[in-house]
Amino acid sequence: MKRAIDKLGAYACKIGKDFSIAFEEMLDFFIETFDTDRVMRHECNYPALLAERKQDNPDMFELLVMWLELTTQGIKKNGAYDFFGTMYEEVVKGKFKSSSMGQFFTPLNLCQVMAELIYSPEMQTVNDCSCGSGRTLLAHFMKSDKTKFYYYYAEDLDPICVKMCALNFMIHGMLGQVVHHDALKQDFLGAYEVNEIKWPIPTPCCSIRKISEEEYWNRRDWLVKHNRKPLAEPIVDNTKPEYANLSLFNF
């Protein structure tokens, strides 16, 4: 990770921009690399696709290779790896932005606990209305049965988080949609459909596609129609509470 951070820092100095701007440019380059139209144009020939991207921007291509290598190693070792969330927390996210937007990323081990609590073996849609880099949904994916169909639906108000989450979905092979909006208002600022190329016939190819508002609402209608069961049955505790006086002093 340090090598990737140093490389992106050097690139930021080279173009004369702040690290946070270079970070978003990196996300955009990665998303454009795996754009569905580009992948289909190359007929999933990744060597040719990557050779094209290397010519477009050699510096960003080097970061792309680092991301692919580190994430592949992390998946083999732990089942998932949040490259972007880790870099974002270490370098990009300042204290002002953290407190003003409520951005405090959840540690992966806690995400795994939450995934355990809501996990169901039934095939269904899994949602996170404040996804960040997608870490909680990654934890669910780590636990899920890979032979079954899960559709992951993520939302966030921060466009950087939306891009990080979409890329995390893609590299881990997760099917889903990542939406840029305020989940409380249900507005629409943008969205990505991720790995649609893998459905209904499984394929090693990965893809990201920016979708229109009309397609977003059509997909929401479909999800409501085909996913009526909750992720887990609510736990009902019928234990009667006991009341007692609490004394802070012993006499």
Does some domain include residue 237?
no
Mean of the pLDDT values across residues 212-220? 85
pLDDT of residue 166: 97
* Better-predicted residue by pLDDT, 134 or 249: 134
Confidence check: pLDDT of 139 > 80? yes
Q: Report how far residue 113's alpha carbon sits from residue 136's, in angstroms, rounded to the nearest whole number.
A: 9
For the chain, the farthest-separated pair of C-alpha atoms sits apart, in whole angstroms, at: 82
Give the rounded percent of residues in the chain with a pLDDT score beyond 70.
82
35: containing domain: 2-93+103-226
Round to whole Å and give the CA distance between 1 and 151. 29
Q: What share of the chain is helix, strand, coil (3-state, %, to 5)?
A: 55, 10, 35
Residue 111, pLDDT score: 76
How high is the pLDDT of residue 152?
Answer: 92
In a domain, 47, yes or no: yes
| pLDDT band of 195, cuts 50, 70, 90 | very high
Structure tokens at 244: 């007692």
* Rg of the Cα atoms in the chain: 21
DSSP, collapsed to helix, strand or coil, labels residue 194 as strand
Is residue 117 one of the residues assigned to a domain?
A: yes
What are the φ/ψ torsions at residue 179 (nearest 5 degrees)?
Answer: -115, 135
Band of residue 204 on the pLDDT scale cut at 50, 70, 90? confident
Is 248 inside a domain boundary? no
Asked if residue 239 belongs to a domain, the reply is no
pLDDT at 249 over 70: no
> Which of 29-38, 183-192, 220-229 shows the lowest per-residue confidence on average (mean pLDDT)?
220-229
What does the pLDDT average to over 34-59? 94
- Band (233; pLDDT cuts 50, 70, 90): very low
Q: Residue 176 — pLDDT band, cuts 50, 70, 90?
A: very high
| pTM for this predicted structure | 0.81
Determine, yes or no, domain membership for 251.
no
What confidence category does residue 238 fall into, taking pLDDT thresholds of 50, 70 and 90? low
Convert the pLDDT of each residue in 66-108 to its tens digit. 999 999 999 999 888 999 988 988 886 654 454 445 556 777 7
Residue 129 within a domain = yes
Q: What's the Cα-to-Cα distance from 108 to each of 14, 133, 134, 210, rounded to whole Å?
A: 34, 11, 10, 28
**Model pLDDT, residue 216:** 87
Percent over 90 (pLDDT), the chain: 48
Is 241 among the domain residues? no
- Min mean pLDDT across 23-27, 113-117, 121-125, 240-244 is at 240-244
Q: What pLDDT is attached to residue 241?
A: 53
- Residue 23 confidence (pLDDT) above 50: yes
Token pair listed for 110? 């806690």
Q: For the chain, what is the domain count?
A: 1
